Amino acid sequence: MRIIKAGVIGTGFIGPAHVEALRRLGCIEVVALAEANEELARTKARDLCVPKSYGDYRKLLQDSEIEVVHNCTPNFLHFQISRDALLAGKHVISEKPLAINSKESAKLVELAERSGLVGAIHFNYRNYPLIQEAAEMVRKGDLGRVFSVHGSYLQDWLYLNTDYNWRLEPERSGASRAVADIGSHWCDLVQFITQDSICEVFADIATMHKVRKRPKREMATFVGKSLRPSDYENVPIQTEDYASVLLHFQSGAHGVFTVSQVSAGRKNRLWFEVDGSKKAIWWDQERPNMMNIGYREKPNEALIKDPSLLSKRAQAYAAYPGGHPEGFPDGPKFFFRDVYTRIAQGKKSRPKFATFQDGHNEILMTEAVLKSARTRKWVKLP
């Protein structure tokens, strides 16, 4: 594949992860980054060894070297920056959510299609080797008819009322938090595996901490805090800490998932089970190199990530031999490989990665969840 040059906008938690994953591919050069001001941009560029920095993302979009823009900014900036990047003729890889609401995300889908540029949304969990294997098992009919899908995505980084982050602020993050932030990952993942669409939801959501204590200076995501009581101010919270959602799928399968950001001891525990008429499979993101296979008539199995034991499809997402663990940093690498391969080769086949359309669908799902929780009724997705 030819060398492609990229620019990264936003260097909080996820931006540097993009830079690292891109460099592991070998054929991508991160030539510039943009931040909120010149000083911060220079500092981040120096720390990440990126040659060019911009204190205004619009200047990065004017850089003729850059073909692909990575939008790693806070949620409320996603729509504007992705739109401007497409209008500037750049391919776009955006963090989720694609936008704050479905009206904005629909515009981005239409703009990407009209421009002929690639619009990708970073649902990276699809790219674990055993997730690809699970999807292949469903595709081949190994599970039989899918009866049900259930699971959870649990974290504890907002467990205390003194835990605070910009994602708690609807004007910066959106009307939903737990469902939009981590529930979107879970829903995208199970729909990818089953190749089946969620068509109806019934939701129960809750905010455990109605008031949180916000530090008077901003703290980074996932960073521990050791502040005095006088360093905080009380802030009312409007977004959910927790949700449980019943699901109906297009095929007739049923499901349910729970998301929580206040579950003590759970750091990033995305777990699912797919129950079929022939067998079941289940997987835990915190133990990503093993997938369980369940049977009624014989002992269950544990499939260990080993390229020699996987399908050809899954082997393409396993870079190391059996016994050499792969995990979170490897998902973005393979995601970016698939996106950049499509950019280099052109739109010759169905994309292997999550597109702007997938991002739009997840926003529709989140909006349906909020409506269901508000009306206490089943809500169909558009």
Model pLDDT for residues 240-255, shown as the tens digit of each residue: 999 999 999 999 999 9
What pLDDT does residue 191 have? Answer: 98
| pLDDT category of residue 228 using cuts at 50, 70 and 90 | confident
- pLDDT value at residue 338: 96
pLDDT in tens, 48-78: 999 999 999 999 999 999 999 999 999 999 9
Q: What is the pLDDT of residue 221?
A: 57
Reported confidence tier of residue 102, pLDDT bands at 50, 70, 90: very high
Q: In this structure, what DSSP letter does residue 198 have? A: E
Burial class (CB in 10 A: 0-12, 13-18, 19+), 25: middle
126-326+359-375 maps to CATH 3.40.1030.10: no
Q: How far apart are CA 46 and CA 41, in angstroms?
A: 9
Q: Once rounded to an integer, what is the mean pLDDT over residues 257-265?
A: 98
What is residue 56's DSSP assignment?
S
Least-confidence region, from 50-54, 291-295, 330-334, 349-353: 349-353
Give 3-state DSSP helix, strand, coil % of the chain, rounded to 5: 35, 25, 40
Q: What percent of the chain has pLDDT over 90?
A: 93
Task: CATH 3.30.360.10 in the chain: give the residue spans.
Answer: 126-326+359-375
Model pTM? 0.94
Q: Given this model, what pLDDT does residue 219 score?
A: 62
% of residues, the chain, pLDDT over 70 = 98
pLDDT at site 225 = 55
Give the pLDDT confidence of 180-216 residue by residue, as tens digits.
999 999 999 999 999 999 999 999 999 999 999 998 8
Q: Is the pLDDT of residue 173 over 90?
A: yes
Mean pLDDT of the chain: 96
Q: In what order do the strands lie in the sheet with 119-121?
A: 52-54, 28-34, 4-9, 68-71, 91-94, 119-121
Residue 270 pairs in a beta bridge with 153
Torsion sign, CA atoms 112, 116, 121, 125? positive
350-362 average pLDDT score: 96
Task: Give the CATH number of domain 4-124; options: 3.40.50.1980, 3.40.50.300, 3.40.50.720, 3.20.20.80.
Answer: 3.40.50.720
Does the structure show a pLDDT above 60 at 37? Answer: yes
Q: Confidence band (pLDDT; 50, 70, 90) for 360?
A: very high
Average pLDDT over residues 292-306: 98
Report d(CA 363, CA 367) in Å as an integer.
Answer: 6
Report, as an integer, the average pLDDT of 92-110. Answer: 98
Q: Taking 80 as the threshold, does the pLDDT of residue 135 lie above it?
A: yes
List, by residue range, all CATH 3.40.50.720 domains of the chain: 4-124
